[in-house]
Amino acid sequence: MGQIVIRDIGIPAIRFGICQRCLSADTRSFMCHHGACRYCRNCLHLGRLCQCDFLGEEDSTTPVESTNLVMPFELLADQKHVSRQLLIWWKSQTSGLVHAVCGAGKTEMAFPVIERVVNEGKRVLIVSPRRDVAIEWAERLEHAFSVPITRRYGGGDKDTIDMITVATAPLLLNLKHVFDYVLVDESDAFPFAFNMALWQTIRRAGRGVFLFVTATPTVWQRQFPTIHLSRRYHGHDLPVPTLVKQTDEAVITFCRRETPRLLFVPTKADLVRYGEWLEANGFTCKAVSADTNERTDVLEWLETTNGIVLATSIWERGMTVRGVDVAVLDSEHVLFTSRGLIQMAGRAGRKPDAPTGDVVFFYNERTFRQDRAIKAIKQANRR
């Protein structure tokens, strides 16, 4: 019922070499002031946990408030259908999966159910895979809701828990059974996919009702009752990728376009390689990877100057550029899963005033992953 804190009395912090806060086995022995001891390396960012510490629980929730909701825009018929379904799921306390295509307005669809949950005096958690996505969520929620939003990501406040919390997964480690409704955004993205420990922490932070929201659910997530939304909110089709054999001329022809161009490459080494190659051919481009600190600046630069940006898969989710053309270089690379390719294709044509965009998969070899991605996009367009 609250935050797990270090106390003088309680359960031992590390038992059998397993950290009881983050459940990781990466504990190391060292000489504490009293002798041999162990500490956990996995949750150092929450303060070091030593074997000689004890864990207790502390109620850090704020008093219950009610909220009013101001919708940023009127929901369309499709979206209303989904949000009605979410309310039904909440009423029957079932977990569910929203399988909505990229750019369907997933954020706003969840607002009615969040309002309902909060007004019933329950707490809501929104988990997002990355910090910039969390910031965007928090800003949109702040505009729509009258209650304060807790920001539980790196740089936010981490002391109290209000009615609505926006968080990244690593900062949920010390919460236990707090949130009655947990919305997992982009639930197949990097930290969540195949990481059962993170799923365990999210499950421990929640109280049993979850909502997964994604465009590309994993097999595991499909076990939950699913609702589909296969139309973007502006009603246009998803751009279907074209497969083009990767030759120098083909890539240069793509780069000669006037629109903003976003080129995805598999690894950071490729970022440098293709960057130099494009410079040699007389293009100016910027590179974006997980190490780039000012990613939003690059985004603005791309939108305003119609430039070229080389990106790793860090940008495959949660970013929108007006009228962008997307290319995936070396799309046969193992790191480009079919789900990743679908997400990258979904970067194009997200704005209502520029609803189309070109998506090109450059290939050296054909793979089933490319075919599966194209098939899934076509299927969503038919639905």
Partner 1 sequence: MNCLVCRKPMKVPWSPATLLKRDWVCPYCATMLTPLEQGCSRCGHPTEDGRTCDDCVRWLALGLDLTVRCLYVYDEAGTNWLHRFKFSGDVALIGHVADGLKRTREPGVKYVPIPLSEERLLTRRFNQADVLARGIGPTHQLLSKAEVSSQRELGKEQRRHRPNPFAIHKTARCEKIVLVDDVYTTGTTLHQAAFTLKRAGYEEVSAVCLFRALNKSKTRPI
What sign results for the dihedral spanned by CA atoms 339, 341, 344, 345? negative
The secondary element (H helix, E strand) that includes residue 177 is: none
Kindly tell me which of 158 and 236 has the beta carbon lying closer to partner 1: 158
44 binds partner 1 (CB under 8 A): yes
Kindly tell me which of 33 and 382 has the beta carbon lying closer to partner 1: 33
Residue 305 DSSP one-character state: H
Phi then psi dihedrals of residue 43, to 5 deg: -115, 40
Kindly tell me which of 48 and 80 has the beta carbon lying closer to partner 1: 48
Write the interaction track for partner 1 spanning residues 149-188; mark x where CB under 8 A is met and - where it is not: ----------------------------------------
SS3 284: coil
Kindly tell me which of 234 and 268 has the beta carbon lying closer to partner 1: 268
Taking the CA atoms of the chain, what radius of gyration do you get in angstroms?
A: 23
Q: Which of 305, 309, 296 is nearest to 261 (CA)?
A: 309
| Structural tokens at position 363 | 């290939």
Residue choice 41, 131, 204, 273 for contact with partner 1 (CB under 8 A): 41
Work out how close the CB of 381 gets to partner 1 at its nearest, in angstroms, rounded to a whole number: 37
Burial group, residue 378, by CB count within 10 angstroms (0-12, 13-18, 19+): middle
Write the interaction track for partner 1 spanning residues 48-67; mark x where CB under 8 A is met and - where it is not: x-x-----------------
What sign results for the dihedral spanned by CA atoms 105, 191, 325, 299? positive
Stretch of 42-50, 72-80, 168-176, 328-336 contacting partner 1, by CB under 8 A: 42-50
Work out how close the CB of 205 gets to partner 1 at its nearest, in angstroms, rounded to a whole number: 22
Write the interaction track for partner 1 spanning residues 1-40; mark x where CB under 8 A is met and - where it is not: ---------------------------x-xxxx---x-x-
d(CA 202, CA 169) in angstroms, rounded, equals 7
Kindly tell me which of 28 and 383 has the beta carbon lying closer to partner 1: 28
| Structural tokens at position 52 | 């000689």
Kindly tell me which of 41 and 158 has the beta carbon lying closer to partner 1: 41
Q: Which of 200, 187, 207 is nearest to 23 (CA)?
A: 200
Work out how close the CB of 32 gets to partner 1 at its nearest, in angstroms, rounded to a whole number: 5
- Chain contacts with partner 1 (rule: CB under 8 A): 28, 30-33, 37, 39, 41, 44, 48, 50
